Structure 1
Amino acid sequence: MSLETNINAEIKTAMLGKKEADLRALRAIKAAILLAKTAEGSTGELTEADESKLLQKLAKQRKDSLEIFRQQHREDLAKKEEEELEVIERFLPKQMTEDELRAALTDIIASVGAASPADMGKVMGAATKQLAGKADGKAISAMVKELLK
């Protein structure tokens, strides 16, 4: 079943259950899907990889907004972003734990032959391809810096 079909079904459920936070997030996902499908140069259909990228983008936007709202002591707005983020994360693939990420990056570092922080570009290139959708880019970058010290 496609992401769009799942989202439409979830929207109906959220409407019946009067879950406003879920509904806000689901509508945002649906809007992003429609924009991606009607964007110039698109085929009108989204692949699973496209759907995953779209959800990751939405989750990243929510995380960034959440961080800003917390810095500005706007807990009311932060709460809304947090609720939406929880809903979006339900549709994302399971994220890697810190230990799994460390193990995967250690293997990648060994395979590309990186030895110093100067080799970070090579490692990040390989890591972002292999771990796409499984780990956050910031987490990957921080772990690579730590491992290449």
Structure 2
Amino acid sequence: MDMRARVNTALKQAMKDKAADRLSTLRLINAAIKDRDIAVRGSGDEEAACCGDAEVLAILGKMTKQRQESARAYEEGGRLDLAERERQEISVIEEFLPKQLDEDEVESAVRAAITATGAGSIRDMGKVMGELKARYTGQMDFGKVGPMVKDQLCAAGNC
């Protein structure tokens, strides 16, 4: 079952269960996916009329990151009730994301991507990141992976 169908199935179930908070988060996910569809459709590329699973995963990852930042801001502002609401939305969104890789798995994925791309210097960092994004979208935090890639490329002595 593709991501869009999984979200729609969960949305229908939330309606049946009368789970208002879950339902509102699922509607936000659906709206973000439809917004992306409209943006792609406006670009004139008829083959990409709707976004695929990889794009949906990217949307979900972005939504999670936005809510984490919001929760942090609410905590700093003393609004713990709003921070908790953001965390509840994160938990609903994360149900649709694949399992996050642990640190060892991320390191081995970075090494494999460096080998696969034949990266030899820091100039090849974009190739390595592109390879990782193609294979592991939604499974790792690329903000944390970037410095790891840089460290491993610099460890080869080509910085």
Q: TM-score, structure 1 length as denominator?
A: 0.80
1:129 to 118, 127, 131: 131
Extract structure 1 runs of 4+ deviating beyond 6 A.
none
Question: In structure 2, the residue corresponding to 1:62 is in which secondary structure?
Answer: helix
Cα distance in structure 2, aligned partners of 1:23 and 1:137:
29
Q: Cα distance, 1:83 vs. partner?
A: 0.8
Cα distance per residue 1:31-65 (max 9 Å; x no partner): 11111122222643222222222212212211221
Task: Decide whether the 8 Å contact of 1:108 with 1:123 is kept in 2.
Answer: no
Gaps in structure 1 of 5+ consecutive residues: none
1:82 corresponding residue in structure 2: 87
Q: Cα distance, 1:70 vs. partner?
A: 2.2
2:144 to 136, 139, 142: 139
Cα distance in structure 1, aligned partners of 2:69 and 2:124:
27
Matches within 5 A, 1:28-47: 28-39=28-39, 40-41=42-43, 43=46, 44-47=49-52
Cα distance per residue 1:63-86 (max 9 Å; x no partner): 221222222222111111111111
What is the CA RMSD across the aligned residues, in angstroms?
A: 2.3
Cα distance per residue 1:84-121 (max 9 Å; x no partner): 1111111112221111112222344564124xxxx2x5
Residue correspondences, number: 144
2:57 corresponding residue in structure 1: 52
Gaps in structure 2 of 5+ consecutive residues: none
2:21 corresponding residue in structure 1: 21
Q: Which amino acid aligns with 1:113?
A: G
